[in-house]
Amino acid sequence: MRHGPLTPACAPLWADLVATALLGTERRAPALPVAGGALGDLLGRLAPGDDPAGALLGAAAAVALYRRAGWLPPASAAQPFPPAPPDDLPPCSARAGAHLAQMLAGTYAAALPEWLAALASAGRAAPASLLPALLDHGRNHEDLRPVIVAALGARGRWLAGLNPDWEYASGAGAAAQEDATPLWETGSPAARLMLLAGLRAREPERARDLLAASWASEKVDDRERFLAALAQGLCMADEPFLEQALNDRSERVRKAAADLLATLPESALAQRMAARVAPLLRWQPGRLLQRASIDVALPEEYDKAMQRDGIVRKPARSGMGEKAWWLSQMIEQIPPDAWCKLWGASPDEILKAKLPKEWRDLLLSSLSEAARRHGDQEWLEALIALRRADKKPGELAELLPALPPARREALALALLQAHQPLAGDHPALAALRSLAGPWGHDLSRAVLAALRRRLLASDKSSLRTDWRLHSALELFATRMPADLAAKVGAIISDELPPWGGAITQFEELMRFRDAMLRALRES
């Protein structure tokens, strides 16, 4: 145990005791030191007698206690923590907090994003006792940071500022401050990203100007991440800055800037891309019994202007040549409606045109990406009709997230009902995986009914090895409406083997979600 510094009166006493202890009481008879006051009275009662060693230890204990009792800690130069501000959100109920504790401990963790989103909708904060665990969770799960920050309240953001590992969350509070410059200049990359995202949601021009001021000194990885934050509220006012970012030395940064500019149909980049591709795709109108066709030519060379506009030189897809890769990237950047205007044809007419067999897949995948990027509903519907006719559910599933919720669920339901039985290779499975939750009741009941038919099928051997469907069960349990929990058991659990454990976990997760959402509504 550490002792305080020796006082002048105590130092000789301690030195005598140490010397006797080192030599041993057999070689040096303990002559207990003389001291005044209460310490002297105590030492006077410790005569060596027949136990010199005991007397020595007793004296040492007395002097040690004397030293400790009189010691004062040195004054600290450290500044005290700033006091926590008043919380701006009321905490959730104890029952809702208990659900959060379970998820942070690893039980029903798949439901945590939904809990956090529901908490934000209820205008509540996580319990103060769980803030450290929640902040730690965000340190390891970057995708959850925005909803975690929304659950912290003022106290949680204050707490985040006291631990460098949680600094990512302190940026959200700074975004609401009048002067966010100090954190932008000195904060960690994670905290600065949260700050930029928060500012972008409230003051988009201020966020862009803050980034522009420090752009030249940012690291490559940070420049790429910061550009992604500008996607929120993107408009033509951002074009000059993004055009400047196209001059970046990093290919990844140029690509990120180009992808943002491409979503602005009026941007100069979209016009440049259309001018490049127009000579390479030649429209031949249909005549009499001859349908329209599209002739395809590949770009001849990769020039500096293409490099600047974010066209990546080396193919990212195996089996695709360089020139085809360049063409694919350029088509993806062009609003698909540009082809309707250029050729005077509808999306349906263009997609029904005769395409060169060797370039058909490239054109369709590139036009699909352009339609998704620009949210062109007419093109999306035409592409979906084509993919359904081609019986390519994988490509169809990639288009669904860009559709309005009711429409994409109707398509998934149609796929589910058109094919039986539900299995890992079912056309609807890819579509269901692509649909965010919560699903509608009609689709969810149809999935449960299809799952029941699969479980009751006579062929149990194929069920045992259908790992793709087996692995989708947790996803189903997180995306179906939680208020169906009471009906799940009656629908699918009559025949548990050979998936008894998985079905039980499915039911338990549904019931947990139902209980946790009820608790949040009652908070």
CA-to-CA separations, 494 to 182, 355, 456, 504, in angstroms, rounded: 61, 51, 8, 11
pLDDT of residue 4: 46
pLDDT of residue 382: 96
Taking 80 as the threshold, does the pLDDT of residue 228 lie above it? yes
Alpha-carbon span 515 to 55, nearest angstrom: 69
pTM of the predicted model as reported, rounded to 2 decimal places: 0.77
DSSP label at residue 151: T
* Contact indicator for 42, 62 with CB cutoff of 8 Å: yes
pLDDT of residue 109: 96
Buried b (16+ CB within 10 A) or exposed e, 293-317: ebebeebeebeeebebbbbbeebee
Question: Where do the domains of the chain lie?
Answer: 11-69, 94-273, 422-523
Residue 288 in this model has a pLDDT that exceeds 80:
no
Compute the CA torsion angle 233, 234, 238, 239 (nearest 10 deg): -170
Sign, CA dihedral 232-235-240-242, equals positive
User: pLDDT confidence of 334, banded at 50, 70, 90?
Assistant: very high
Lowest mean pLDDT across 184-188, 218-222, 246-250: 184-188
Query: What does the block give as tokens for 230?
Result: 């500008």
Q: Which residue has the tokens 């940064």?
A: 253
* pLDDT for residue 175: 56
The yes-or-no verdict on residue 173 having pLDDT over 80 is no
- Average per-residue pLDDT in the chain? 87
**pLDDT band at residue 237 using 50, 70 and 90 as cut-offs:** very high
> By CB neighbour count within 10 A (0-12 exposed, 13-18 middle, 19+ buried), where does 111 fall?
buried
Model confidence pLDDT, tens digit, residues 18-44: 777 777 777 776 666 666 677 777 777
Could you tell me the CA-to-CA distances from 85 to 170, 266, 457 in Å, in that order? Answer: 13, 46, 61
**What is the per-residue pLDDT across 446-486, written as a single tens digit (0 to 9) for each?**
999 888 888 777 666 677 777 888 888 899 999 999 999 98
Q: How far is CA 161 from CA 170, 183, 304, 359, in A?
A: 5, 11, 45, 55
Amino acid at 405: P
